[in-house]
Amino acid sequence: MAQPVGAQGGTVPLVLDLDGTLIRTDSLQEQALAFVRRNPFAIFKLIGWVLAGRVALKEQLANAVQLDPEHLPVNEAVVALAQREAATGRKVVLATAAHAETAKAFLQRFPFISEMLATDGKTNLKGKAKAEALAQRFPEGFDYAGDSSADVEVWKRARNAITVGASSGTVRKAKKVSNVIEVIPRTPVLKAFIKCLRPHQWAKNALVVVPAILSGLIIDPANLLPLALAFFALSLTASATYVFNDIWDLQDDRQHWSKRRRPFASGTLSLPAGIAGALVCFIAGLILALLAGPAVLQWVLIYVVVTLTYSLWLKRKVIHDALTLASLFTLRLVVGMVAVAAEPSPWLFVFAMFFFTSLAFAKRHTEIARVIEKGGFWVNGRGYRASDLPLVLAAGISSSVAAVIIMVLYIIEDAHQQSFIKNGDWLWALPPLIFLISSRIWVICQRGELDDDPVVFVVKDKICLAYAAMTGISFFLAWFGVPL
């Protein structure tokens, strides 16, 4: 039988579950993720522990990974309830299926806890085992706050029940077996998952249309379907990689000023739910890519491989990370090109690499500047130091200037030779407009007013949108041959 820690006398206690109740996440899942993140090949050892049984798994992970409770998301409503009850002199007990060594770490963070029961080396304190342990420890009764269907067995033995973020089915079961005195609602899973997919980032995938426009193939109605399929295929697979990235970067995101509000980091979306949803999106994206054509599927898979390589490794490599991000933008153009069988344009790809490299450096500049404001030295989860700020600034601005130069060379060397360009003189408006867009981004960046993603800033900023609209108008005037 699992043994209580620090047993005290007292009136009918308030007993709290840990995972999904006191904290908005699962400590075992957090430990497993942290263990694999240290060394991805350790997943084979983890599988061996799983096969050895639940108790053995918890004990091994408790010894291998020490969680930092200070950075785990808590359920504020449960904490407020426990603090209020503890202030009246009531005993607050933590009863968890987590291993005792893991659970002890939470006693210091939550000083209102006066006693603890947890899984030991023999008993997995969950369901009936937890109910029996609490009934023996508190024969005069107890109130219990839990979140899952496994807690129904505990509520059967409790005087009163409190459901925390439980499903409607679990709440109904609790009401059948106990006196439910409070229902703390759960965060809508679908809403949290959609946020995790970052649908606002889908605007980036509109780049798939650019090759069709620049090659004049956009006017052929037959190209609209493959472009639409390519857009949604890339969007769904990219969203699936966002989910993976957020899971992999969970610990770093919780220490970030804005990323800590992401669904996984904040605990509003569970890891299993997110993984299941991401798999559905990934498979759907691949099906759409195949419908758009084998070449589209090939390049979408290449995009996924590059993205995962970035998430697992390259994002921590100075300079390489910015080039990889720029490559991902360029790959979107490639997907659009193969979707309509457009002629490859080296000018477009080189311009895109320099322009989006500049944006990537703007993102890193913002992160480094925030670290400096807080007196830090390293950018958490990245390879940059505070002293790298001048280098990043120089690389970012020079990349933007290089993009403008590439556009000038394209107009001089190639644009006037394209059959679909009727009046290339209008294209001379493009270099200064691109320069204005880049300059505005860097001005805002230098002022410390840029959010994490400069692309999101561009699609929301009215001035940048006006410059972009003028760019599009200039191109179409050149296309239709409107005289100056």
d(CA 334, CA 297): 12
Do the beta carbons of residue 65 and residue 49 sit within 8 Å?
no
pLDDT value for 7: 37
Sign of CA dihedral 199, 200, 201, 204: positive
State which of 186, 218, 233 marks the end of a domain.
186
Other beta carbons within 10 angstroms of residue 97's beta carbon come to 28
Token pair belonging to 473: 């108008």
pLDDT value for 413: 87
pLDDT value for 9: 38
Using one digit for the tens of pLDDT, what is the confidence trace for 143-194? 999 999 999 999 999 999 999 999 999 999 999 999 999 999 988 899 999 9
CATH classification of the domain holding 106:
3.40.50.1000
Instruction: Give the residue ranges of the chain where pLDDT is below 50.
Output: 1-10
Do the beta carbons of residue 403 and residue 354 sit within 8 Å?
yes
The secondary element (H helix, E strand) that includes residue 462 is helix 462-480
pLDDT value for 420: 72
Using one digit for the tens of pLDDT, what is the confidence trace for 391-428? 999 999 999 999 999 999 999 988 877 767 788 899 99
CA angle 383-389-392, nearest 5°?
Answer: 75
d(CA 315, CA 307): 10
d(CA 411, CA 425): 9
Amino acid found at 261: R
Same domain? 281 vs 392:
yes
State which of 151, 186, 221 marks the end of a domain.
186
State which of 158, 186, 214 marks the end of a domain.
186
pLDDT value for 253: 86
Same domain? 14 vs 67:
yes
Same domain? 172 vs 233:
no
Domain with 37, as residue range(s), is: 4-186
Phi-psi category of 184—alpha, beta or left, where left has phi over 0 and alpha has psi -120 to 50? beta
* Residue 109: closest CA among 82, 133, 134: 82
Same domain? 227 vs 145:
no
d(CA 63, CA 464): 53
pTM, whole model, 2 decimals? 0.84
Same domain? 137 vs 231:
no
Same domain? 200 vs 157:
no
Report the number of distinct structural domains present in the chain: 2
* Residue 300: closest CA among 276, 325, 267, 334: 334
Same domain? 41 vs 154:
yes
Q: Which residue has the tokens 């921590």?
A: 316
Cα torsion through 201, 205, 207, 208, rounded to 10:
180
Same domain? 161 vs 254:
no
Same domain? 101 vs 198:
no
Q: What is the largest CA-CA distance in the chain?
A: 92
Same domain? 219 vs 180:
no
Do the beta carbons of residue 241 and residue 304 sit within 8 Å?
yes
CATH classification of the domain holding 277:
1.10.357.140
Helix axes 54-64, 43-51, angle to 10 degrees: 140
Same domain? 51 vs 197:
no
Note the Cα 226 to chain centre separation in Å: 29
Amino acid found at 161: A
Same domain? 143 vs 238:
no
* C-alpha distances in Å from residue 26, one per residue of 96, 366, 460: 11, 32, 36
DSSP assigned state of 475: H
